[in-house]
Amino acid sequence: MTATPNDTMPLHDVLIVGGGLVGASLAIALDAQGLDVGMLEATPAGALPAVFDQRNLSFAEATVNALGALGVMPLLAAPTGAIRRIHVSRAGDFGRIRLDARAHGRDRFGQVVVARDFGEALETRLSQLSRLTRYRPARFVGLADADADPAQRVVRIVDAGGERELRTRLLVAADGSRSSVRDALGISAREHDYAQTLLVARLRTQRPPDGTAWERLTDSGPTALLPRGDGHYGLVHGVARDHADAVAALDDATFLARVQDAFGWRAGRFLACGPRSAYPIVGCVAAQLVAPRAVLVGNAAQSLHPLGAQGFNLGLRDALTLAECIADGGDPGAPALLARHAQRRVQDRERTLAFSDGLARLTSNAAPLLRPLRSAGLLAGDAMGWLQGWLVGGAMGYRGDVPALCRQGGAA
């Protein structure tokens, strides 16, 4: 249901600020528990958040399992692209990493989904929830005195009726890397500007996708090709930030020639590309995940370099772990519950952050002395079974204490 401006100060069990990928998924996961859930969304009814654009999302197997169990995957209108192989190499270095799902007893590592199609499927699934109250368009503006009542949070919002207050037993910040809720809670965050911008587009090649996800690393950033379900690739081309505007302004032929030069010819000749979008890459890691009657999930908790496609997959596991903790019953904002959630997220979060950030920094460092180290790492990743197993587990979303929904139909 959509809230009206005349609603008096309601009390929700859980109030989610942010209706993007992670916030919407959390709302769906909580619905089966019979809780009173509210969700604060910046976009009006009938519109999708800006995050649901033409980007290509790489869903790990664990994510596909969970979204299938939540009833979202069957609602996708466009075909998805299966990731059956992963090929990683770096310009100027020896070696490469090649992973094949069949060698690890799987049909695929995951699937490629267009963000807009995913957003529309989420919206359809949200419309089926009977207990969710949606405040839209609405904006979080602050918190009332936390000491007024230790059993709840009082949240100030602005919507069509002006400023008003909502009460909740648990406040969830799912409002992105520039989280206003995180700031209001006084939780600090460490930022790292990778000085890169990613240009994203749909790419048509001489040879159609065969299930291989390609990642070509260079000093200025990665160039990746993700196999879409429509016979095209999803292109991600990283450039140095100070060159981004100039590259974005290139005509299609010149842009394709640049990308072909950066990537090589493994996928054949590049023939055409769709409209390009640009995304500056800045990593952000919150100092803590919880505060009294509040928790951070998704990009509000951590935003990662997209190398390795770990960001949304990690954020979804944040949300599903929280939903599991809440499902145990009792007060959803109880200190013991939040402490348990934070503890369960430690291993997965720390390993994924270390993998993503370390890979981004190492592969973009042009220092000649690092070339033998990078080459040795690529050769080892291609040849050593135990290391391949570790890489595959991470690629499929199985790190640390994984929520049960992520393991449905999968394992590891």
Q: What is the CATH number of domain 11-78+113-190+282-372+401-407?
A: 3.50.50.60
Place of tokens 């030069």: 261
| Residue 28 neighbours by CB distance under 10 Å | 21
| Residue-level pLDDT at 251 | 97
What is the mean pLDDT of the segment spanning 380-399?
A: 52
Q: Chain-wide mean pLDDT for the chain?
A: 85
The continuous run of DSSP H or E covering 256 comes out as helix 252-263
Least confident of 89-103, 124-138, 157-171, 311-325: 89-103
What confidence tier does 309 reach under pLDDT thresholds 50, 70, 90? Answer: low
What confidence tier does 114 reach under pLDDT thresholds 50, 70, 90? Answer: very high
Beta strand residue intervals within 32-161, DSSP E:
37-40, 56-60, 81-83, 85-90, 96-100, 110-114, 132-135, 139-143, 153-159
| Residue-level pLDDT at 308 | 56
| Residue-level pLDDT at 353 | 80
- DSSP assignment, residue 2? B
The answer to whether residue 257 scores a pLDDT higher than 70 is yes
Burial class of residue 55, CB neighbours in 10 A (0-12, 13-18, 19+): buried
Is the full-model pTM beyond 0.85?
yes
Residues in the chain: 412
Taking alpha carbons only, the member of 311, 281, 132 closest to residue 200 is 281
